[in-house]
Structure 1
Amino acid sequence: MPAPLPPRLTWNLRLVLLLDEASRALGELAGLLRRLPNPYLFIRPFIRKEAGLSSWIEGTQADLLDV
């Protein structure tokens, strides 16, 4: 049986401001990536790390060289 879901969020000014700050930071990152000649070089390490973590969660025996 899965763990219970977290409680409902209580929307307040602090949460809205944090979400706004996160959204702005993601927009800034997207703008910076558009200026790179090859943004894939920046993104590739994160893709590999996510693949390794997914393999670990699934119980697959793989290291970063295999991914």
Structure 2
Amino acid sequence: MSGVRREWHDSGSASGHMQTVADSGTYNRMQAAYRAFIGHATGCESCGHGEKRCTVADQLWQEYKAARS
């Protein structure tokens, strides 16, 4: 995945874990795409407030998934 990497996160008293970290450009693209999807889905009568997806919501979701990779 471009702009996304896994880093070890020391949680202090526990054993720690691997955490996904995105650079700022990737993070911003992901957030913008997700906001577009959520903004559409919550206002679209066909999407039923997230209960189902219309074709526009499907396209916005695909754009969000593409931004993540």
State the TM-score, normalized to the length of structure 1.
Answer: 0.39
Please identify the structure whose Cα radius of gyration is greater. Answer: 1
| Greater fraction helix | 1
Query: Which structure is richer in relative contact order (CA contacts within 8 A, separation 6 or more)?
Result: 2
TM-score, length basis structure 2:
0.38
